[in-house]
Structures are given as C-alpha cells and as structure tokens.
Amino acid sequence: MTSPFLLSTWSFSEPILESEYPNLSAGCSALDAVEACVRNAEQDESIDSVGFGGLPDRNGNCTFDAMVMTSPSSSGAVCGIERHLHPVSIARLVMEKTNHTLLAGTLADDFADSHAMESANILAHTSEQKWESWKKRSRDTKPLAPFDHGHGQLFGSHDTIGTIALDSHGTLAGACSTSGMAWKVPGRVGDSPIVGHGLYVDPKRGAATGTGHGELISGVNGAFLVVDLMGRGATPLEAIHETLDRIVSCWDIKKEYQVAFIATTPEGKFAGGALRAGFKYAMCNSDGCIVKDPELVMLD
C-alpha cells in the first residue's frame, strides 16, 4: 500500500483537495480523484481561469481546454469547448471511449453530446462583465501583443488547475483544465490540452503539470521535459529548475510572463517552482492539507 496524496496548482485548490482526499484515502482511484478535483474547480464561478467564470477571448466568448493522463499510452484531451461545463470529463471520455488523444472545437462538443453530456451556457455573467470592462479599457490602446492578456490581470489569485494524484495502489494520474489565456485571440489553444506541454504522466518516471503562459510551456514541451529529466535521475526540483532555465534561455521574458510547474516522482517526492513570485500550490496527504510556496522562484 502506498500512502496516497494529491498535489495541485494554486492555493484555490487547497479546499478542493481537502474535500477529495478522504475519497482517495478510502481507495478511490487516482484518475477518479483528479477528475473530481478538476470538476470542482470547473464549476466554481469565482475561479476566473477555469471552467464557468473563466475569462473570455477578445470577442467575448469562452472556450475551455482540458486533459487527463495516466501514462504515455493513456491520455485524452479536448480544446475549444464551447458549450459544456466539464471539459475534463469529456477529456476522460476521449481517453476511455476512443483511440484518439485530442478532439477540438464544436466537434468535441458534439462528441460530448453523443455521450449524453448535457450542454450549457458556459459564459458566466461575471465573465461577460469583466470582458465589457476590459474592452472599454483597451478601446483606445494599440492591439495587445500575443501574451499580453490585458493590464496584467491574469496572475492575480487564480490560474489553470493542474492536479496530480497518487492512489493507494501506487497509480499516478493527472488532469488539468483551463479557460486559457484571458482575452486570447479566438481559436488560440495553449499548453493545457497538449500531451507533454501542460501535463505529462509516466508511471515509471513521474508526473508534472504546468500553469502560466502556455506558449512558453509549449515551446519546451514543459511537462514532458520535467518528467523526462526526473526519469534521467533529476529530483523534481532539479527537473523544474532546468525546465524553467530552458524557458528563460529561449524567450525574452517580459515582466508579466509567468510559468510554474509542480512535479512528483512515482514514489511521491514532489516540488513546485515558478518563474516569478506569486505562485503557490496545494498538497494533501495523510498528515493533512497545506498551501505551499514553491521551492524555487527563478526571477524577481
């Protein structure tokens, strides 16, 4: 019997992990646990980068991306979801009911319909209001640069949820879900639904998930790189450090850019690291639940 634990990006996930941990310690699978945690964030309107309540694109429409993964041969993802509240569960259906990895856009919504998932309006009134006010503020400014999601709003208290679980059978699973970058160009897809970018799970090497500017994470296949480095002997902290180093060496890092990773070995040795201050992560095990500062902050 392994001692189960949950790890998740951002402090908002601590109460979510706390409510799910009893199920995990009672024998629920790592996959069920991560899906339940992420669903919880998806339905929480106060979390403005995940699911309902997420910030829209620059046309005022919300689209969601999500992924689940248990191994390199077992993952599922969706991107550009327009009318279902739980993209993580559609991602799980992709993993379990198809031979594919990623379904996109309205056809992914149709796939969810075909599995009797109820469709819904995914644009919260609060998100619409925030978009209206962003629109008003940016009316007189020049078009925003690709990673400028408008007035430094993204990395306040919330961001993409990425959750990793190790269950009592020693099985690892990961899931992530996001409404993507606020005020993104319509059609833009970030790192979260791409295997090895926003999430990677390899039972032999460990698991990692990322949050922040998806383009930076994707550019180095961030989550895969972290896990691969652990497979070659790096600790989770060393692996995250090297991956962030790689990002810093490849990009002209602007002050509003943020990237963070959390990672664990298959045995449950974990760490978190970020480019900049502000990132926190949550962890629950048999000793309790805590919000942790990352072990590494590269810049500032």
What's the rounded Cα separation, in Å, for the pair 190 and 217?
9
What x-and-dash track marks residues 115-154 binding ligand SD4 by CB under 6 A? ----------------------------------------
Question: Are 45 and 123 spatial neighbours (Cβ–Cβ below 8 Å)?
Answer: no
- Which residue of 53, 76, 190, 236 would you call a contact of ligand SD4, by CB under 6 A? 190
Question: Are 225 and 206 spatial neighbours (Cβ–Cβ below 8 Å)?
Answer: no
Verify whether residue 163 is a known catalytic residue.
Answer: no
Q: Which of 65, 46, 58 is nearest to 157 (CA)?
A: 46
- Which residue of 4, 80, 214, 273 would you call a contact of ligand SD4, by CB under 6 A? 214
Q: How far is the CB of 10 from ligand SD4 (least distance, A)?
A: 9
* Binding residues with ligand SD4: total (CB under 6 A): 14
* CA angle centred on 161, ends 157 and 162, rounded to 5°: 135
Give the tokens for residue 259.
Answer: 């990237």
Q: Does 211 bind ligand SD4 (CB under 6 A)?
A: yes
- Region of 72-80, 207-215, 274-282, 292-300 interacting with ligand SD4 (CB under 6 A): 207-215
- Region of 111-119, 178-186, 262-270, 276-284 interacting with ligand SD4 (CB under 6 A): 178-186
Q: Does 159 bind ligand SD4 (CB under 6 A)?
A: yes
- Which residue of 192, 243, 264, 265 would you call a contact of ligand SD4, by CB under 6 A? 192
Annotated catalytic residue: which of 9, 160, 163, 178?
160
157: how many CB neighbours lie within 10 A of its CB?
A: 13
What x-and-dash track marks residues 36-65 binding ligand SD4 by CB under 6 A? -------------x----------------
Q: Does 163 bind ligand SD4 (CB under 6 A)?
A: no
Q: Which residues of 185-210 are buried (b: 16+ CB within 10 A; e: fewer)?
A: eeebbbbbbbbbbbbbbbeebbbbbb
Q: Does 272 bind ligand SD4 (CB under 6 A)?
A: no
Q: Which residues contact 125 (CB under 8 A, 6 or more apart)?
A: none
Q: How far is the CB of 232 from ligand SD4 (least distance, A)?
A: 25
What's the rounded Cα separation, in Å, for the pair 143 and 124?
25
Give the tokens for residue 52.
Answer: 């309902």
Q: How far is the CB of 247 from ligand SD4 (least distance, A)?
A: 13
Give the tokens for residue 116.
Answer: 């009797």
- Could you give the C-alpha distances from 258 to 210, 244, 253, in angstroms and in order? 10, 10, 9
Q: Does 160 bind ligand SD4 (CB under 6 A)?
A: yes
DSSP secondary structure string for all residues of 102-147:
EEEHHHHHHHHHHTTPPP-----HHHHHHHHHHHHHHTTSPPPPTT
What x-and-dash track marks residues 76-115 binding ligand SD4 by CB under 6 A? ----------------------------------------
Pick the closer one to ligand SD4 by CB: 28 or 164. Answer: 164
Sites of contact with ligand SD4 (CB under 6 A): 49, 159-160, 178, 180-181, 190-192, 198, 211-214
Residues annotated as catalytic are: 160
